[in-house]
């Protein structure tokens, strides 16, 4: 088992606060795996109230921890329900957003909103301590490339995570990508913005060097 410190969540919350107010930034958000850039986690799960599948045939979905602003920042549309928001904190009921592929595959004849799923930290045979209620359906995202089929995918708030993870599952909680949306048009201020982000990061924690991606 791996125990994470409250400073992990506090670091990312401060990073969002600082970068959201930088000149030239329309919005800032966090995601565990950037679409088309890196490989998200894949977890199996059980749908509460549905017949339990055999252990060797549990359904699986892509998984990423995100901040509440990720969908508006990446312009991922809300299809039904509500967004993840700032009220989805650790003490509140745990929630999750699913993509359209997930809804079509696992809820072909019923409404997913309000259903509960229990995630498992594959490859470790350990379930999350609390089920998550589906509160929103969002548009599909090409996580694995424009020519690849979109898999069922779920998005969980980074603010609703345990302090203890099995094995190496803490990696999904520790590592995030910062996504910034800037105004459309010539990107003349990109270098200056990059410097501002580095300074903000250094002020929060000088031991966290950034790894920029385009």
Query: pLDDT for 35-76, tens place per residue?
Result: 887 677 899 999 999 998 888 889 999 999 999 999 999 999
**Is residue 93 assigned to a domain?**
yes
- Average pLDDT across the chain, whole number: 90
For strands 60-66 and 41-47, give the pairing. Answer: antiparallel
**Is residue 80 assigned to a domain?**
yes
Contact in structure between 45 and 119 (CB atoms under 8 Å): yes
Task: Give the pLDDT score at 180.
Answer: 94
Locate tokens 């000088």: which residue?
A: 206
DSSP-assigned states of every residue in 167-188: TTTTHHHH--EEEEE--SS--T
Task: Give the pLDDT score at 198.
Answer: 87
**Is residue 185 assigned to a domain?**
no
Output the pTM of the full model: 0.90
Task: Give the pLDDT score at 40.
Answer: 77
Segments of the chain with pLDDT less than 50: 214
Number of domains in the chain: 1
**Is residue 207 assigned to a domain?**
no
CA-wise closest residue to 8 among 156, 168, 175, 179: 175
**Is residue 212 assigned to a domain?**
no
Structural domain boundaries enclosing 128 = 32-179
Quote the CA–CA distance of 151 and 93 in Å, as a whole number. 26
**Is residue 141 assigned to a domain?**
yes
- φ/ψ of residue 72, rounded to 5: -70, -35
**Is residue 15 assigned to a domain?**
no
Element containing residue 98 per DSSP (H, E): strand 95-99
Task: Give the pLDDT score at 38.
Answer: 65
**Is residue 156 assigned to a domain?**
yes
- φ/ψ of residue 166, rounded to 5: -75, 140
Quote the CA–CA distance of 141 and 130 in Å, as a whole number. 26
Mention every residue, 6+ apart, whose C-beta is less than 8 A from residue 199. Answer: none
């Amino acid at each position: 088992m791996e125990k994470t410190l409250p400073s992990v969540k506090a670091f990312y919350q401060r990073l969002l606060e600082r970068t959201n107010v930088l000149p030239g930034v329309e919005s800032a958000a966090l995601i565990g795996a950037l679409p088309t850039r890196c490989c998200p986690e894949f977890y199996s799960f059980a749908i509460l109230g549905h017949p339990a599948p055999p252990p060797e045939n549990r359904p699986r979905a892509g998984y990423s921890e995100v901040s509440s602003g990720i969908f508006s920042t990446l312009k991922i549309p809300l299809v039904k329900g509500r967004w993840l928001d700032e009220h989805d904190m650790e003490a509140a009921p745990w929630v999750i957003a699913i993509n359209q592929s997930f809804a079509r595959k696992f809820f072909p004849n019923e409404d997913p909103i309000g259903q509960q799923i229990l995630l498992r930290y594959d490859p470790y045979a350990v379930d999350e301590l609390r089920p998550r209620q589906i509160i929103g359906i969002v548009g599909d995202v090409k996580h694995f490339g424009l020519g690849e089929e979109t898999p069922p995918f779920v998005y969980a708030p980074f603010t609703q995570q345990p302090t203890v993870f099995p094995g190496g599952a803490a990696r999904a909680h520790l590592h995030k990508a910062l996504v910034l949306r800037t105004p459309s048009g010539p990107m003349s201020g990109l270098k200056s913005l990059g410097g501002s982000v580095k300074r903000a990061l250094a002020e929060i924690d000088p031991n966290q060097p950034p790894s920029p991606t385009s």
